[in-house]
Structure 1
């Protein structure tokens, strides 16, 4: 694993915007001089490194599925701040094995040892357009003879074909709260992969989904019953909404992407449960729910936090915090290991899973200790 620099393509901004990364300006703080998409640098991997990472990611995914079974079997919903009234719906969703499509593991990796799990974005993962499309086109333009860990597009199309969906169009829903366009473009891309799989699809805002009390079903603006709904609206938000009980109650008559049981995997309490179930596993960092215990350095992560907000890093050298409004739901305390330093920049590897198979890699960099909305996305390639 190496970090290299090179000159960006002429007119790269227009190129990536034409390929779907229309939000590369709006999704990034305006006071930063470094762009969100930065092709002036990239990472190089050997094929053996990628094969090792693929194996580790699929093992982690399998462990996560075992963790869901453990939570359901032992009723450990309180540890995950899942409301008790939602628990039967989570259990039923898992027992039915309601289908899932994709997720993203965030990993610490420096090329010299096993990757370490930082978190699993299993319900509403983003940076999909960058990972699947934009860096692939960059590779074909700049390093056409090299390879890339990137089968995301093909696997997504194949996954839609595998799903046992009901008749009628599949709805892809963003929220009007999306001010950057990232959510709209991500869902638009997912909708495109579903179109290529032969599905009939419809785009809709979450705010435009209505409840039909006569039919006891959700419906779109044309009064069509919604039988499949793909959303980037977190389940913890959905169950707290006025129509949360209907959403939970509709699990058996609708296909939700992602399914309700993903509430377990999209929660950072998962980190503590995995360490409890697999103590000492080479891909895990020690993590606890009741405090840092004997960890000499740790990071406090809110169970439902996003974009690195509301975190606290505690080391012998001092304490650092990030701003945010998360944390009322509780925290997990994970061993802190600084991200590896490559020329003053620290990468987080976003390893994608589609279905139950590893499918690709996206890398975000930051100069700080915590990866947040100021990070930049950089491409990668594989050399022989």
Structure 2
């Protein structure tokens, strides 16, 4: 893994405007940055990123069963009691999932370490699936990249295949996001594009324009019944909305399904560590309440959790990250090293949520920037990656998106 300085395409900003990538620059700073790119060997992609991400997703699905069988875990993860049956029924029906994104710390040597799973409303899909692929084709044609260079990016094709697998041809799907957000719309339109290519109908409606019919079904802005709805809106927010009381009786299939809220919750991380302690792609993680109880010698942490904490205590003392169980784009995250605060996110919007502690895995540095690998899972397999980097140790909403390529194999 290396970071390589490259000439930018002469007219890439014009192309970005043509295809609606209006947020390529934000607030006077580049969001899409192709002045350099990350290069990988094929072995690094396949062995260190693709296979582990697919395996991690399978582990996450195992964790769903464990969480749903434990009222204590549902409490720790703040799943609202009124909607626990909704989550459980969604899982028992095996309501289909479409996609998710693991955020991984990786320095080119491995193993990659799971930082968190964006399993419900992951963004940067358009940049990952489409714009960086166009960058690859353009730079190959211009001779900027070596002949035979490739990219780990079958995201769009995997989405098309997944939609075709889940839904019959001609089925109508609806897509929604909060109106007026170009980044969210780009993600939703990337999904709709894949659905149309799979032979499905894809209709968009702003979230605020969705209504309820007299018989309790959801209606779009043209009063069409929504039988399938992809919503780029977090489940934890949706369940606080008055519309939530209509979900169970609406006969609407939600994408992502309700059970995915268990995987987008950072309480997943201590559950995974409890289930797969010592796994090479996991970092020690615990609910903060369990850590406090274990350190105080109290019984509110189970004997198994307390023993696991003691085994990881030295690593957590050396460095740990405090994360709210619900947050987006690094908000309300704090990093500690040797007991001292190393860095804290300026955005504190999620500071009131219960927290977990995760062992600190420093991100590698390239020219002063720290990259995070976003490994995209479509269905149940990893289909590609996108990379975000920042000078901060905490990847945030304005962190830069960087393209990548796979070096051609030498004889």
- Cα distance, 1:189 vs structure 2: 1.6
**Whole-angstrom CA distance in 2 between matches of 1:58 and 1:23:** 30
Checking the alignment, whether the CA contact within 8 Å between 2:153 and 2:385 is kept in structure 1 is: yes
**Whole-angstrom CA distance in 2 between matches of 1:5 and 1:73:** 50
**Whole-angstrom CA distance in 2 between matches of 1:166 and 1:10:** 41
- Cα distance, 1:167 vs structure 2: 7.5
Runs of at least 5 residues in structure 2 that lack an aligned partner in the other structure: 142-147, 293-308
Runs of at least 5 residues in structure 1 that lack an aligned partner in the other structure: none
Checking the alignment, whether the CA contact within 8 Å between 1:173 and 1:231 is kept in structure 2 is: yes
- Cα distance, 1:317 vs structure 2: 7.3
Residue 240 of structure 2 corresponds to residue 237 of structure 1: no
Residue 330 of structure 2 corresponds to residue 308 of structure 1: yes
Specify the SS of the correspondent of 1:243.
helix
User: 1:43 maps to which residue?
Assistant: 38
Higher radius of gyration, 1 or 2: 2
- Cα distance, 1:223 vs structure 2: 2.4
* Partner deviation per Cα, 1:218-252 (whole Å, 9 max, x = no partner): 112332211010110111111100111112443xx
Change (3 A) 1:167 1:219: farther
Segment drifting more, 322-331 vs 112-121: 322-331
Residue 325 of structure 2 corresponds to residue 299 of structure 1: no
User: 1:322 maps to which residue?
Assistant: 345
- Cα distance, 1:343 vs structure 2: 2.2
Residue 79 of structure 2 corresponds to residue 55 of structure 1: no
Checking the alignment, whether the CA contact within 8 Å between 2:119 and 2:260 is kept in structure 1 is: yes
Q: TM-score, normalised by structure 2?
A: 0.88
Give the one of 335, 349, 352 matched to 2:359: 335
**Whole-angstrom CA distance in 1 between matches of 2:190 and 2:167:** 21
**Whole-angstrom CA distance in 2 between matches of 1:370 and 1:302:** 14
- Cα distance, 1:278 vs structure 2: 0.5
State the Cα RMSD in Å: 1.6
* Partner deviation per Cα, 1:232-273 (whole Å, 9 max, x = no partner): 0111111100111112443xx222110000010010011111
Residue-pair matches, total: 374
Structure that is richer in helix per residue: 2
Change (3 A) 1:317 1:90: closer
Map 1:97-136 onto structure 2 (within 5 A).
97-136=94-133
* Partner deviation per Cα, 1:157-198 (whole Å, 9 max, x = no partner): 11111114697621111112x44x111121112111111111
User: 2:156 maps to which residue?
Assistant: 153
Specify the SS of the correspondent of 1:140.
helix
Q: TM-score, normalised by structure 1?
A: 0.94
Checking the alignment, whether the CA contact within 8 Å between 1:158 and 1:197 is kept in structure 2 is: yes
Segment drifting more, 96-105 vs 72-81: 72-81
Map 1:207-356 onto structure 2 (within 5 A).
207-213=208-214, 215-250=215-250, 253-289=251-287, 290=289, 291=291, 294=313, 295-296=316-317, 297-316=319-338, 318-319=340-341, 320-323=343-346, 324-356=348-380
Checking the alignment, whether the CA contact within 8 Å between 2:153 and 2:384 is kept in structure 1 is: yes
Segment drifting more, 117-126 vs 7-16: 7-16
